[in-house]
Amino acid sequence: MIRTARTILRKDLAIELRTKESVPAMTLFTVTVFVLFHFGLDRDALEGDLASGVLWVTLLLAAVIGVSRLFAIEREQGGIDGLLLAPVDRTALWVAKAAALFLYLTILELVAIPAFALFLLGPDLLPALPVLILLLLAANIGLAAIGALVSALAAETRAPGLIVPLLLLPLVMPVLISAASATEPLLRGDQSPEDLGRWLGLLSLYDVVFVLIAVAVFDFLLDD
Amino acid sequence: MSDERTGDDVSAAAEGDDRNERAGGDAGRVGTSRGAGAAIELDGVERRYGERVALSGVTVRLEAGQTLAVLGSNGAGKTTLLRVLATLLRPHAGVARVLGHELPDEAWKVRGGIGYLGHDPLLYRELTGRENLVYHARLHGLMDGLRSPDEGLASPGAHNRASSLDGGLARVEERLKAVGMARRADDPVRDLSKGMVQRLAVARATLHDPALLLLDEPRANLDPAAAEALEPLIGRASGKTRVLVTHDVEGGLAEADVALGLRGGKQAFCRPAGEVDAATARGLYS
Amino acid sequence: MYSKGLKPLSIATVLMVALSLALVFFYAPNDADQGFVQKIFYVHVPLAIVALCGFVAGGIMAIQFLRTGDRSWDARSYVAIHMSIIFGTIVLITGAIWAKAAWGHWWVWDEPVLVSFLVVFLLYCVYYPLRFSIEDPDRQARYSSVFAIAAGAFVPINFAAVRMAEAFTHPRVLSQTGGSLPGDMRLTFLVCIAAVTLLFVTMWKLELTGKHASMQLKRLRRKLEAEAA
């Protein structure tokens, strides 16, 4: 199954490299929204909870773009049939798509975090960076897992572009809550380990639960 | 919120009342012996789309190496039948056995032996022909020693890996040549004409050397030269068991052993192709 | 098929609801700070709890559908979610009324049950467009079930997240219901929960019976038409 997932992932990355559809769009969107916030909030620098909130909400909205495109290519070009005809484990498709989304989000964040620090952040980013990276990775896992599932769900509906944000955003609220709440004291510089532990714990719980659910139900989406 | 769309309970699941209404009763069991080796055995297969019947009363037996022509007007259920045989759709009633395995429970065992050529070429437009074929080769395990193209199941192992990788790639090259696309194999599929895409689709469908070919109007978009070039792969000359959906009634009957006619989802007739006259066949289209 | 036990259930429901109303109006004391308005709590919180349980139950029924393929489980799941959304709308409305009367604002973020409920409600509102924009009925049932399962698992996690986030000093209702509710309030509260639960189950059964009957009617009609043709 891993082999199949790797094959599909390779194929998706090859197409993404060639079309450059998802990652540049997500990145551009994120930076643009940062600028929007600058004007909308009329601030030169953000701190504390405002900074944390702006960062995470923007990342989530960018994730919606990535999720929308994830299964679009399969729906448009008959990719699902090709996979269904092969003697492979179909959950590999979810694994591959979730892995792709995880990669896209990580690349996005490599650009977005420095941009955020440059444009909007008041205090210095560097001391917060290690823990922030940890939070980003934990959040990305949950987003990737639920994003791949939502993308597959929406792919068969008449208006996937509408359904994806409506489905995804409520479902990722716990991620937003945990990540933003943990990042706020982090950016202020006064985070306590128990606090961080609590939020990381919730994030991990979210990740585990939704990875398990996605793996359990994904086959039913493809089986006809 | 329409009431119709919520789940209705299954108390009246497969009532089978459709069987009594089967039009033109010829549910011919072609082929005399019931021994092992039948490539396809269908008995009363049904497929619904909600409350609407897409297929019903389909009963046919096809021996290995034979060709089945499926005839009928648009919407008669030909593509649905093909997709059921391809394990893309599960039958809602009846018995379906393909290559000796029962659907849908053993569908996974059958997939490696089926080559499906539908309306969609199942190729990614941004990738080249070669990349698409390599992708499918990997999906079918042709490149990693678990199943070598020539020998069936080979034991996995590192020493097999290198040779099977080459073997898989060689297989891709050989197919590209066979369909006449070797020269344009590095062009993205979106740059190719429909005829070329169809040729690549044939390559994809036959890449893993399937025992059963399911062909939905395979010669669409092909000029006569191309169609002829592909004969050894998907035509009678290939010697494979084939199910052919076509609108070319005469041509289809000419190359088939058995003919199955569908009308509004219901099986109208199933006989040896030689016994079907033009009038009967035309009757499907009125 | 679904109407077994419907009559005794309905009678029990009516009795319980009457009893709970009587207790709320005549037995439970008036709250010291908030006065009479606080009594909305007896409607609002049980409705919220039952609605959330209804969502989770919808998810469990969806699991049964995927396991057995029996469409009746899908019907049960759909109706449970449907009922919970209706109950949920009332939760949000009564919540707003209570908030305005008790604290002067139509909406407060301090109440974790209400906030987490809003998120869950927004999520489940997508159930309808998701379900009805899929044309193949088979696929519709399967995809809705997948959604119901994911959303059902989401309910407790989301509640935990919101609860952790709102660590404020504002009196949290649910912490009251555990231990610190005085006896007469607790009794009223429990009776109300029982009444609302019965109400939910009765209405759920009613709707299922109605749908089943109309399905059978349609099927008979179709058969008649087919035979006449």
CA dist., res. B120 & res. B205, Å (int): 11
Report domain extents, chain C. Answer: 6-228
Nearest CA in chain C to B9: C72
* C143 in contact with chain A, both atoms CB, cutoff 8 A: yes
Q: What is the pLDDT of residue C175?
A: 44
What CATH number corresponds to the domain at position B268? Answer: 3.40.50.300
Longest dimension (CA), chain C: 73
ipTM reported for the complex, 2 dp:
0.86
Answer yes or no: do C129 and A198 touch at CB < 8 A: no
- Is pLDDT above 60 for B152? no
Could you give the CA distance from residue A126 to residue A118 in angstroms, rounded to a whole number?
12
pLDDT attached to residue A142: 94
Alpha helical stretches, state H, chain B:
78-85, 107-110, 129-139, 158-178, 194-206, 224-234, 249-254, 278-283
Provide the pLDDT for residue B215.
93
C100 band by pLDDT with thresholds 50, 70 and 90: confident
Q: What is the pLDDT of residues B46-57, one digit of tens each?
A: 898 877 888 888
- Among the residue ranges A74-83, B16-25, B128-137, C33-42, the one predicted with the least confidence is B16-25
Q: How far is CA B54 from the centre of its chain?
A: 17
Q: Is the dihedral of CA C18, C23, C25, C31 positive or negative?
A: negative
Q: Is the pLDDT of residue A84 over 80?
A: yes
Which pLDDT score is estimated for C65? 94
> With contacts defined as CB-CB under 8 Å, which chain C residues touch B51?
137, 219, 222
Question: A9: pLDDT confidence band, cut at 50, 70 and 90?
Answer: very high
Interface check C4 vs B, CB under 8 A? no
Q: How far is CA B144 from CA B111, B137, B148, B158, C69, in A?
A: 18, 10, 8, 9, 36
Mean pLDDT of C7-19: 83
**CA A164 to centroid of chain Cα atoms:** 13
Please state the domain count of chain B. Answer: 1
Minimum Cα–Cα distance from B201: chain A residue: A82
Cross-chain residue pair A15–B126, CB shorter than 8 Å: yes
C139 reaches B (C-beta below 8 A): no
Cβ–Cβ below 8 Å for A81 and B135: no
What end-to-end distance do the CA atoms of chain C give, in Å? 31
Closest Cα to residue A191, out of A57, A48, A26, A14? A48
**Cα–Cα distances in angstroms (integers) from residue C141 to residues A147, A219, B7, B276, C66, in the given order:** 21, 14, 7, 42, 9
Most confident of A43-57, A64-78, C26-40, C133-147: C133-147
The CA distance from B226 to the nearest CA of chain C, in Å, is: 37
Q: Is A185 helix (H, G, I), strand (E, B) or coil?
A: helix
Answer whether residue B24 shows pLDDT above 50: no
Residue B244 domain-assigned? yes
Contacts of A153 in chain C (CB under 8 A): 130, 143, 146-147
To the nearest whole Å, the CA of B109 is away from the closest chain A CA by: 7
What sign does the dihedral A182-A183-A188-A192 (CA atoms) show? Answer: positive
pLDDT of residue A158: 83
Could you tell me which residue, A123 or A165, shows the higher pLDDT? A165
CB neighbours of B2 closer than 8 A, spacing ≥ 6?
A: C132
Domain interval for residue B108? 37-283
Closest CA to B92 of B124, B56, B65: B56
pLDDT higher at B11 or A23: A23
Contacts of B86 in chain A (CB under 8 A): 85
Give the CA distances from residue B1 to residues A198, C67, C174, C201, in Å, rounded to whole numbers and listed in that order: 42, 26, 35, 21
Q: Name the pairing type of β-strands B258-263 and B67-71.
A: parallel
What is the residue extent of each domain of chain A?
2-222
Question: Inter-chain contact C120–A206, Cβ cutoff 8 Å?
Answer: no
Taking CA atoms, C1 is separated from A208, B9, C13, C208, in Å, by: 39, 9, 20, 9
Name chain A's partners: 3 or more CB pairs within 8 A. B, C
Q: Where are the beta strands (DSSP E) in chain B?
A: 26-27, 38-49, 52-63, 67-71, 93-98, 101-103, 114-117, 147-148, 152-153, 212-216, 241-245, 258-263, 266-272
